[in-house]
């Protein structure tokens, strides 16, 4: 363990992608690599520093008396150089990259606090692809404390089934009929209603989105089955459900969708899964496989927030989509004057001749609806028609439908 000796600096070194290295060289060599790293650090630093291995693939270096900015950056450079030279394991050469979390230590603080703060800084350094070193600051601790608390709350929310779908109607412009609805997740937490924009990113990072997504899908399919049975919704009603790439890239996702459909008795042809454009591009190969399988089962695939990503049409062509949802920023910008040169017009023209539904998102005014209608857009969704609402409040009469 490290001595408790006041003013100095503490460096927590983490090996990037150690698990991948371990998988490719084997666990035996992975262990050897750690020993080599420890030896190198010892050889070069043991006279000036105190060294320790903290957990699996992290090493701590404590430098007493090193406290100035220039001294600290010197140490950072030394550590990087020291570990940049290749390691040789059983004749195999391994090059590692490291991230470093740095804390300036104070005499009135404890070692465990230094280590905790260094660990927070290290996790920031690992997350930020632009830099490999991060200096601890108190804002980081409160942000990560917030995150930790949020994760615990989301877990409780999952256990208590606090995540429920609200429904926003999708309207067929030509007939004015409701032809479907998008299920949008809402979290009734004990501290009030939480927007998906606030919990989805954390749920995705932590993997909990899989469970939440599954709960929403199940509830939405079950609600739709009941609404069709009671003739509230027509037989060919399209239920749209958002799915995260974390769900889609999972090998058992297709089976879990099939199970929900079997359990609820809702035909696959009643369901369209929405995927955000920008997120599909660099996702795992499983994602495309899964999309193809889902399409084969009869589900629709919608590209959400279309136009905001950077996907090429050539790439999109490989995706088995049945629907494009034009992001609301493009609907916002529509005017009589720019209509013909608008992105919306271009998208509608491209999809002519393809069997693709085009849904305009975020329609807020009658004027927008009129412009969209003149462009030949077939479906619309937005506050002008209805806000997302719980099933009990589903509108039987939409004022703005036609």
> Which residues lie near ligand C2E (CB under 6 A)?
168, 184-185, 195-197, 200, 209, 213, 216, 242-244, 274, 276, 304-305, 328, 361-364, 382-383, 388
Q: Which is nearer to Mg ion, 204 or 274 (CB)?
A: 274
Residue 220 binds which of Mg ion, ligand C2E, none (CB < 5-8 A, kind-dependent): none
Binds 383: which of Mg ion, ligand C2E, none (CB < 5-8 Å by kind): ligand C2E
Residue nearer to ligand C2E on the CB measure, 15 or 323: 323
**d(Cα 203, Cα 342) in Å, to the nearest integer?**
35
Chain residues binding Mg ion by CB under 5 A are 242, 274, 304-305, 361
Dihedral of alpha carbons 277, 322, 218, 246, sign: negative
Residue nearest to ligand C2E (CB): 382
Q: Which does 213 bind (CB under 5 to 8 A by kind): Mg ion, ligand C2E, none?
A: ligand C2E
C-alpha distances out from residue 269 to 4, 115, 169, 238, 322, Å: 66, 54, 18, 8, 12
30 binds, among ligand C2E, Mg ion, none (CB under 5 to 8 A by kind): none
- Cβ distance 57 to 119 under 8 Å? no
> 135 vs 240, which CB is nearer to Mg ion?
240
Q: With respect to ligand C2E, which residue has the nearer C-beta, 57 or 182?
A: 182
Nearer to ligand C2E, 115 or 164 (CB): 164
- Cβ distance to Mg ion smaller for residue 228 or 302: 302
Alpha-carbon separation of residue 380 from 10, 205, 375, 376 (angstroms): 57, 31, 12, 11
**Residue 167 CA to chain centroid, in angstroms?**
22
* Complex with Mg ion: residue 57 or 305, whichever CB lies closer: 305
CA 298/CA 180 separation, integer angstroms: 16
d(CA 184, CA 199) in angstroms, rounded, equals 13
Q: What is each CA distance from 348 to 276, 313, 328, 338, 384, in whole angstroms? A: 19, 13, 15, 15, 21
288-318 burial by CB neighbour count: b if 16+ within 10 A, else e? bebbebbbeeebbbbbbbbbebebeeeebee
Min CB(369)–ligand C2E separation in Å: 11
Give which of Mg ion, ligand C2E, none residue 388 binds (C-beta under 5 to 8 Å, depending on kind).
ligand C2E
Please state the separation of Cα 154 from the chain's center in Å.
15
Output the smallest distance, CB 177 to ligand C2E, in A: 18
* DSSP state for residue 132 in the 8-state scheme: S
The option from Mg ion, ligand C2E, none interacting with 195 (CB < 5 to 8 A, set by class) reads: ligand C2E
**Partner from ligand C2E, Mg ion, none contacting 96, C-beta within 5 to 8 A by type:** none
């Amino acid at each position: 363990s490290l001595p408790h000796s006041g003013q100095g600096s503490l460096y927590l070194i983490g090996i990037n992608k150690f698990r991948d290295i371990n998988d490719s060289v084997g666990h035996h060599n992975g262990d050897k690599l750690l020993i080599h790293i420890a030896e190198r650090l010892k050889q070069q630093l043991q006279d000036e520093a105190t060294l320790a291995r903290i957990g699996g693939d992290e090493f701590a270096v404590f430098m007493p008396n090193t406290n100035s900015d220039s001294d600290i950056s010197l140490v950072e450079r030394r550590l990087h150089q020291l570990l940049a030279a290749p390691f040789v394991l059983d004749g195999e050469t391994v090059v590692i990259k490291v991230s470093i979390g740095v804390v300036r230590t104070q005499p009135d603080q404890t070692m465990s606090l230094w280590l905790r703060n260094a660990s927070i800084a290290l996790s920031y350094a690992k997350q930020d692809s632009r830099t490999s070193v991060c200096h601890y600051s108190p804002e980081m601790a409160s942000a990560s404390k917030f995150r930790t608390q949020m994760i615990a709350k989301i877990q409780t929310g999952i256990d208590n089934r606090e995540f429920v779908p609200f429904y926003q109607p999708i309207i067929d412009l030509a007939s004015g009929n409701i032809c479907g609805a998008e299920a949008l997740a809402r979290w009734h937490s004990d501290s009030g209603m939480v927007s998906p924009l606030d919990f989805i990113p954390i749920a995705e990072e932590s993997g909990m989105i899989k469970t939440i997504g599954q709960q929403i899908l199940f509830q939405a399919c079950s609600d739709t089955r009941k609404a069709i049975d009671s003739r509230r919704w027509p037989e060919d009603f399209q239920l749209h459900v958002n799915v995260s790439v974390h769900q889609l890239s999972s090998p058992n996702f297709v089976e879990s969708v099939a199970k929900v459909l079997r359990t609820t008795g809702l035909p696959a042809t009643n369901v369209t899964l929405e995927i955000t454009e920008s997120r599909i591009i660099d996702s795992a190969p499983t994602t495309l496989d899964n999309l193809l399988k889902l399409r084969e089962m009869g589900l629709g695939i919608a590209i959400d927030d279309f136009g905001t990503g950077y996907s090429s049409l050539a790439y999109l062509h490989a995706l088995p989509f049945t629907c494009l949802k034009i992001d609301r920023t493009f609907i916002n910008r529509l005017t009589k004057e720019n209509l013909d040169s608008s992105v919306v017009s271009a998208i509608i023209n491209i999809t002519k001749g393809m069997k693709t539904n085009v849904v305009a998102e975020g329609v807020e005014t009658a004027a927008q609806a009129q412009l969209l209608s003149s462009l030949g857009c077939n479906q619309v969704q937005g506050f002008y028609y209805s806000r997302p609402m719980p099933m009990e409040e589903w509108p039987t009469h939409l004022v703005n439908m036609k």
